[in-house]
Structure formats: structure tokens, C-alpha cells
Structure 1
Amino acid sequence: MRVAFVGKGGSGKTTLSSLFARFAAVEGGAVVAIDADINQHLGLVLGLEHDRLPEPLGGHLTEIKDYLRGDNPRIHSAAAMVKTTPPGRGSRLVRLDDPFFQGGFCVRAEGLSLMVTGPFAEEDLGVACYHSKVGAVELYLNHLVDGPGEYVVVDMTAGADSFASGLFTRFDLTFLVAEPTRQGVGVYRQYREYAADYDVPIAVIGNKVQDEGDVAFLRDHVGDDLLVWLEHSPAVRAMEQGRPFTLGDLEPANREALATMLRRLDDQPKDWEKFGRQAVEFHLRNAEAWANRATGEDLRAQVDPDFTFGPVPAGSPA
């Protein structure tokens, strides 16, 4: 299952995505956590210093494209492959333990694998868009075949920035982290409005809740989308300050909140048909809007109408 953590900047989505990834791993899941935020802090809250971070996905786009396109005859080169390019027959589909990604692009921390898009490099400043780096995550998710007990947890850019491509449709569930403030629920309204036409499941996670008044505020503004909330936590503050931390340090109510989130994700139906349909839809949109012009090719031809997304059924040719 794939889950995105979104929300207003400063809402605590990086902290919550790290806690959730740890919890899913402790519960026995195979977990890949991806830092896709322009502010690259997920590794830090997982206890990794900067010199232990993996190679950034955004710095190796050509290698990643060459690997994923495999022998797909519809994709002539890495240069013709854009962030929305869907897989087809001949493409290399990947699992969570794929050796290409589990090599230099992953490090182990807290029982899970961490990947990062990477920050802006000096040569990017003033000339590049961060979506070019996040595009590596979209390509990875487009080519990923994840199974039961496997989780991809993505810490996304703040606000509604993920709507700049089809990335927001690449998840089984989106956790929107909201503080009990007007700004926090404002991002929720914006995200829900943008996602309304695309059948994107959203569950709101209240954060930094101090009393019943905060809970009532969230209920008033997000209604039934409020799944659970986390109380103000001295243990989490200690973690954020770099002090020793384990999930056992969490307050019982906050640990149960993580369990509720995992149950909600496990209960979400996996819809490969919708996933594939929306991958093609957004690729065609991007081809028409900019990608055909950028590559000098008609990228509509990259869509393989006979390709089926998801696991290969038993007895079918690979």
C-alpha cells in the first residue's frame, strides 16, 4: 500500500510520516519511506545524520529512467521518458526489495528503507523546478508492484504542490495532517477540492492537539474525514530535538493513533484499474501541455493499450 503525508508547512507531516513508517515496520511490514519534500528532514527525524543519507533520486534521473524503461519499444531513450511515462510491455517493474533501488538509493534506519529525492543543488538555483526531482518518485510509483504487508510512505511537499502533476493519484490513501487552526484546515479544504474529481481517498490526522476544544474545532471543519488525532507529545518533542527515542516512549493514546492509521490503510481497497487509468490520463495531459514540445516526440505513443497494471495473474505470461 502507498500512503502520502500532506499538509500545511509546519503541520508536522514529516514527523508523523516518520512515526507511521516506524510503526508499520515494527508491526512487521516491509517499509520504504521516501522524502519527497523540498525541505529534506525525514532522514533527520529517523535518526540519520546528513553523511548517512542515500544517493538522491533526483540526481540520478537518467539512470533511473534507463533502468525502468527496460526493453519497452515504445520508449526510445531516457530523454524521451518524462515523469508521467507509464510502464508498458518490456518496462522493468519493481518490488520494494528491488536491488537497483535498495543499493545506493536506500539506507536502512529504524527497521525500514529510506529514499530521498534530494535538495536543490547549487546549479539548480534560479533555473530548475523541484518537480523535476519529485518526478523520480512518480516514475518509481508508476513502475512499482507492491503487495500485502508492503508499505511506501511518502513525505510530500507542503500544501497542494503535488497537484502540479499526477503524483497525487499514485497513492492508495492520503493522510492530510492538520493542526487545529484556520490555516491547517484551509489546506485540507484546498486539497479536498482539487482531489474531488479523481476519487482520491483522504483521511485527516489531527496534530498538536492539546484539548477537547481542539478536537471539536477539527470535527467542525473536516467532519467525517477526521480519522484520529495525536496529542501534544513530550516524547515526540524529544525526538525532534535529537534525543534518544523509541516508539515505546510514545504516550499510549498517540501509539494507538498510529495503530488506527495503519488499520485504515490496510482496510483501503487496492484499485489497480483506477491506478492505471489515471496514470495514462495524466501522461496524455502532460504530453499535450509540455512534454511533446520538450522531447520533440509525440509521447502519446508511449501508452501501451495492452498493458495491465498490477501483479501478473497466476498462469499468465510475465
Structure 2
Amino acid sequence: MKIAVSGKGGVGKTTLSSLLARYWARNGYRVLAVDADPDANLGSALGIETAGIVPVAKMEDLITERTGLRPGTVGGFFKMNPKVDDLPEALGREKDGVRLLIMGTVKKGGGGCICPESVLLKALVSHLVLYEKDLVIMDMEAGIEHLGRGTAQGVNRLLIVVEPGRRSIETAAKVRELTKDIGLHKVAAVGSKVRNSEEEAFLHRSLDGIPLIGILPFSEEIARADLESRPPSLDDPQIHKAIAEIAAALESEAS
């Protein structure tokens, strides 16, 4: 399976990504967790030490080697199909069956960036989605800039994490519109920090056709884990039940 996770900042998409990754690893899958959010903190949610890890987007020597052009160079030719198949193994850091790869992002203005670092990242995402044999979970920002039309069909599901609130719903609608531009129609939502049936009903009413496939309720364990800078316990009954149900929904869609 190839799962991309998006949503407004602070809704819990990194928490969901990390819990799904650890759940599937515990159940025997080889899992590659990809941090594609500029505010990279998936490692801490997985309990993986990230000190010293440089995001792929900032590895100037690697980008130069693979594309033939150093980032920041004005003009010049570079490879549009750089070699990337060895990078997940070479650059990943593993713990308890989950391998973490920190992508980073390309800072750009205007209409976009056709630059060596952007080309390398997109080639790497294409490889992860289309050819990587591991189960891949990509924790993305509130957009889909790492995905393109060529990789959209390889994604089993784009999950938009939403909390009971109007701004979160508005972000979900914007992400849904972006997915239409690249032909990605396999979109679903997961509710996060839901406290009661009224809030769950609000999400069902407000998602405007985006299927809600699961709920990660508000959890004292998740809140404590965040304060203590540790991964939430998968053995917490409330968390385990919710993640097992979301994982089962995704597995049934992928089969």
C-alpha cells in the first residue's frame, strides 16, 4: 500500500501517520515512513532519533551528483530522471520495523520551481509510490506538492486528517480540489481529536462527499505523549481500537 496523509497543521496528521506505521510494522509489514512536511517531526512521533539527519532537499552534494547541477546555480542543464532507487535504503533510519526518510521541501516563489532539488524529490516520490516494495506512508503538508500526475494513480489513498472545526474542513476542501488537478480521486478523511458523537456528526455533515473512513478520538495518552516527547502507546485500548479500524478500512480498499 501507498498512503499519503495531508491536512491542516496541528490536526494530528503526523500522529496518525506514525501510529499507522507502527501498527503495520507490528503486524509484520516492512514500513517506510516518509516525512514530506517542512515542519518535520515524524521522527519524534515514531521514537526515531533524527539528530544529524539532513533532509534530502538540502543535500546539495547528493543533488549535484544525481542531477548534474548544484542547487542555486543560475542556468545550465541537468538530468530530469536522476537515479533514486538506492536512496530509501541509504538515507533511511530504522526502528522497530519502521524506516524513516526525511524529504524536506523546496522553498520557492511564484509559479513553481523547475530546479535540480525539485526534480530529485519528485523522482524519489515517483519511485516510492510506483516501485518501492515496502508499505509507504507519506506525512505531507497541507498540500500535495510532492505528488504529480504521473504518481497519483499509484497512491492507494490520500487521507485528509480533519478535526471538528470549520478551518480544518475548509483545508480539506482545498486539498480535495488540488487532487482533482492531478487525477487523484482516491481521497478519504479521518477524524481527529473527536470528543463525542456530536463532533463526529459534524464531520459527516461537513465533508461534502469526502468519505470519512475512521475516527481517532481525543486521547489523554496522545496528549501526554506529546508533552513528554515520546510516541503514544499503541497498547492504549482506545488508540489501538481506532488505528486497527482505520488500518482495516485501508487494507480492504487496497485488496
Shorter chain as normaliser: what TM range? 0.7 to 0.9
Give the deviation of 1:199 after TM superposition: 3.8
2:31–2:99 contact (8 Å) kept in structure 1 = yes
Aligned to 1:156: 140
- Look up the match of 2:166: 182
How many angstroms apart in 2 are the aligned matches of 1:22 and 1:164? Answer: 24
Aligned CA distance change for structure 1 residues 29 and 79 (closer, same or farther; 3 Å): farther
Letter in 2 for 1:178: V
Secondary structure of the 2:132 match is coil
Higher fraction of helix:
1
Q: 2:155 aligns with which of 171, 181, 189?
A: 171
- Opposite residue 190 of structure 1, the aligned amino acid is K
Deviations for 1:155-174, whole angstroms, at most 9, x for unmatched residues?
Answer: 1112x352885487252211
Alignment deviations for residues 186-245 of structure 1 (CA, whole Å, 9 cap, x no partner): 112122223235142011000000000100000101256100111111111122123555
Residues 78-110 of structure 1 show CA distances to partners (whole Å, capped at 9, x for unaligned) of 95234xx5xxxxx8573xxx4x4322x111134
Q: Give the unaligned 5+ runs of structure 2.
A: 69-75
> Contact 1:177–1:205 (CA<8 Å) still a contact in 2?
yes
Secondary structure, aligned partner of 1:153? strand
Percent of aligned pairs sharing the same letter? 26
- Where 2:145 maps in the other structure, the secondary structure is helix
Structure 1 residues 67 and 6 mapped into 2: Cα distance closer, same or farther (>3 Å)?
same
SS in structure 2 opposite 1:80? Answer: coil
Contact 1:56 1:116 in 2 (8 A): yes
Greater C-alpha Rg: 1
Tell me whether 1:237 sits opposite 2:223 in the alignment: yes
Distance in 1 between residues matched to 2:113 and 2:10, nearest whole Å: 19
1:162 is paired with a residue of what secondary structure?
coil
Structure 1: give runs of 5+ residues left out of the alignment: 70-77, 86-90, 271-318
The one-letter amino acid paired with 2:53 is P
Whether 1:101 and 2:88 are equivalent positions in the alignment is yes
Amino acid of the residue matched to residue 2 of structure 2?
Answer: R
Q: CA deviation at 1:269?
A: 4.6
**1:228 pairs with 214, 232, 242, which one?**
214
Kept after mapping to 2: 8 A contact 1:38/1:130: no
Alignment check: 8 A CA contact 1:55 1:106 kept: no
Whichever residue aligns with residue 102 of structure 1, its letter is E
* Match of residue 41 from structure 1: 41
Counterpart of 2:79 in structure 1 is: 81
Cα distance change of structure 1 residues 165 and 26 upon mapping to structure 2, 3 Å threshold: same
Aligned length: 241
> Is the 1:176–1:188 contact (alpha carbons within 8 Å) kept by the matching residues of 2?
yes
Show the counterpart of 2:127: 143
Contact map agreement 2:33 2:137 (CA 8 A) in 1 = yes
- Specify the alignment match of 1:196 in structure 2: 180
**Cα deviation, residue 64, structure 1:** 5.6
Counterpart of 1:288? Answer: none
Which residue identity lines up with residue 185 of structure 1 in the other structure?
A: I
* 1:5 matched residue in structure 2: 5
TM-score (norm 1): 0.64
Residues 238-277 of structure 1: pairs in structure 2 closer than 5 A: 238-242=224-228, 245=231, 247-252=233-238, 254-269=239-254
Aligned to 1:58: 57
1:125 offset after TM fit, Å?
9.9
Instruction: Report deviation, 1:130.
Output: 9.1
Distance in 2 between the 1:64 and 1:25 partners?
A: 31
Counterpart in 2 of 1:31?
31
Using the TM superposition, name which of 38-47 and 166-175 deviates more.
Answer: 166-175
* SS in structure 2 of the partner of residue 220 of structure 1: helix
Question: TM-score when scaled to structure 2?
Answer: 0.78
- What is the distance in 2 between the residues matched to 1:221 and 1:50? 37
Cα pair 1:175 1:202 within 8 Å, conserved: yes
Alpha-carbon distance in 1 for matches of 2:5, 2:230: 24
Tell me the amino acid that sits aligned with residue 80 of structure 1.
F
1:116 partnered with 2:102: yes
